[in-house]
Amino acid sequence: MIYHKDDYTINTDKTALSLEYIHQYLSEQSYWAKGIPIHTVKRSIEGAMCFGVYKGAQMVGFARVITDNATFGYLADVFIDEAYRGQGLSKWLMEVILAHPDLQGLRRFMLATRDAHGLYRQFDFKELANPEYMLAIVNQNVYNSIIS
């Protein structure tokens, strides 16, 4: 699916994505995936619903949703290139993601963020009502132990 707004498009076609651009951003600029190997980024894209943000042919943002398309979704790797921030692209990206037909009727839609609570609260994301129900295995150093 392709969505248009001003000079920008959001495209869900994975073949349009720039793996190199996504990898560069995640591995060098993100706080959550520093050092992630390119093969891991490739596998993460293959296993998710992806949303590329473009100005013309240039990729300027990305997000992916890990989902069963029925009951659960997890929003991950959301970013807009710093040079394109302040134009409402992150809000538009969230609107497109949440309106996507395959993501309707999910019982639970989750994400994790260190610093973008204000953005996500605008779309009804809230802190967990019962965080004691949730458990996780977190391996902060996983990318340091992967052999390329």
pLDDT tens-digit series, residues 107-135: 999 999 999 999 999 999 999 999 999 88
> Residue 145: what pLDDT?
62
> Residue 137: what pLDDT?
87
Confidence of residue 105 (pLDDT cuts 50, 70, 90): very high
According to DSSP, the residues that pair with 63 across neighbouring strands are 51
> Residue 138: what pLDDT?
86
One DSSP character per residue, 65-121 reads EEE-SSSEEEEEEEEE-GGGTTSSHHHHHHHHHHH-GGGTT-SEEEE--SS-HHHHH
CA distance 38 to 5: 30
**Cα–Cα nearest to 23, from 79, 97, 72:** 79
Q: What is the mean pLDDT of the chain?
A: 94
Report the share of the chain in percent with pLDDT over 70: 97
**Cα–Cα nearest to 102, from 136, 64, 62:** 64
pLDDT digits (tens, 9 = 90+) for 32-63: 999 999 999 999 999 999 999 999 999 999 99
Question: Which domains can be identified in the chain, with CATH numbers?
Answer: 2-145 (3.40.630.30)
Exposure b/e, 118-141, CB count within 10 A at least 16 = b: eebeeeebeeeeeeeeeeeeeeee
CA distance 72 to 107: 6
pLDDT digits (tens, 9 = 90+) for 66-101: 999 999 999 999 999 999 999 999 999 999 999 999
Whole-prediction pTM value? 0.91
For residue 75, count other CB atoms closer than 10 A to its CB: 24
Residue with tokens 């659960």, as numbered in its chain? 72
